[in-house]
Amino acid sequence: MLTLWKWPVQLVGGLLLAGLFTSLLATNSPMPGTINYVEGQVSINGSQLNPKSAGSAEIDQNQVLSTDRGKAEILLTPGVFLRLGDNSSLRMVSSALTNTQVELQHGEAMLEVNQLFKENNVWVLEDDSSTRILKNGLYEFNADNQTVAVYDGQADVSKNDEHLTLKKGKEVSLSAPLRAVKFDRHSEGTLYAWSRLRSEYNSEASAQYASVIYVNNSPWWGPGWYWNPYWGMYGFIPGGALYSPFGWGFYSPWVVGPYFGWYHSGRYFRGVPTRAGVLAYRNRFNGGRAAGAPASQPRVGGGFSGAPHMGGRMSMGRSR
């Protein structure tokens, strides 16, 4: 693991490759079903994947992604990450941007929805039930236990002739008549903890790349997936500022850019370099200004699930 004092050096190295970064920007956004990260034993229709599969391997229609002792992160519509746990399998039913459907056949999956446009229709199928995602949030699916749980957000669950609107803090059993019940949103299983960590990495990779776009005045094609070769995965860059259900931030180049040079010039947060030298991800300190920044520095914010709303507070430094 890199020590704290090495992070700025790594960042400088990354910026020296800014020209390469710019040339490798994803002008064509990946289709739903693109593999963004694999860990351990993961395969598509029996063909094993490895870390180098990230960004190139895709789950085509009717293909099945399976894990043994491993996990996988899959991109759906821009801003939507699907994560598959150990000993699980997932079939791609439809990879259309306006009708994205996956079927969880076995095991568990978690869906992190950071941005959902009205034209997006994201469905998760389990056996003879279907769940349509209605709002940004965090959703958990377990095909073995036949349950759907909403940590944050809202979904419509259908089974045969039954329909149920499932809201934050509620779960439903699919093996009985549909009825929403409370569950402990603060309980953390292995997949939840892994998803939270992946969300942090996704945020950092996106913020770093957004800053490269800004600093180099590079072409930017609006909200979507952008390939970050330094991290070896796609990052989601929105049109403004928003937060994941875990509290990590995603920012456009015009939000992160004005602060990037200030950090890179040698400023530190509480005496140590900030991780990746760029942004803050938690919203705790300094009334929304960078640590040590002048009072005239503007505040920015925006998000959901405990994150500040637009005009609220956002910390600009997180130490390790």
Per-residue pLDDT of 263-312, as tens digits, reads 333 332 222 233 333 333 333 222 333 322 333 333 222 222 222 222 22
As a whole number of angstroms, the distance between CA 310 and CA 222 comes to: 20
Cβ–Cβ under 8 Å, residues 61 and 94: yes
Cβ–Cβ under 8 Å, residues 211 and 235: no
Instruction: Pick the more confident residue, 213 or 23.
Output: 213
Kindly state the tokens that stand for 65: 């992604």
Cβ–Cβ under 8 Å, residues 45 and 224: no
* Beta bridge partners of residue 111, listed in sequence order: 82, 139
- For residue 282, the model assigns a pLDDT of 35
- For residue 258, the model assigns a pLDDT of 67
Q: What pTM was computed for the model?
A: 0.76
Architecture of domain 32-187: Sandwich (2.60)
Place of tokens 């801003």: 79
Which tens digits make up the pLDDT trace of 221-236?
A: 889 999 988 899 999 9
CA-derived radius of gyration, the chain? 20
Average pLDDT, whole number, for the chain?
77
Query: What ranges in 175-267 are assigned the alpha helix state H?
Result: 190-215, 253-264
pLDDT band at residue 208 under the 50/70/90 scheme? confident
Task: Say if strands 162-167 and 154-159 run parallel, antiparallel, or are unpaired.
Answer: antiparallel
* Beta bridge partners of residue 215, listed in sequence order: none
Q: Residues 6 or more apart from 66 whose CB is under 8 A from it?
A: 42, 43, 44, 46, 88, 89, 90
Kindly state the tokens that stand for 226: 């952008």
Place of tokens 């149920």: 164
Which tens digits make up the pLDDT trace of 85-94?
A: 999 999 999 9
What SS3 class is residue 228? strand
pLDDT band at residue 163 under the 50/70/90 scheme? very high
Cβ–Cβ under 8 Å, residues 51 and 38: yes
Cβ–Cβ under 8 Å, residues 36 and 54: yes
Cβ–Cβ under 8 Å, residues 30 and 56: no
As a whole number of angstroms, the distance between CA 209 and CA 13 comes to: 13
Averaged pLDDT, 115-119: 92
Q: Residues 6 or more apart from 51 whose CB is under 8 A from it?
A: 37, 38, 39, 232
Q: Where are the domains of the chain?
A: 1-30+188-320, 32-187
As a whole number of angstroms, the distance between CA 144 and CA 172 comes to: 14
pLDDT band at residue 146 under the 50/70/90 scheme? very high
Kindly state the tokens that stand for 6: 């090495």
Q: Which of 147, 122, 119, 118 is nearest to 133 (CA)?
A: 122
Q: Which of 84, 52, 55 is nearest to 70 (CA)?
A: 84
As a whole number of angstroms, the distance between CA 220 and CA 27 comes to: 9
Task: Say if strands 224-228 and 89-96 run parallel, antiparallel, or are unpaired.
Answer: unpaired
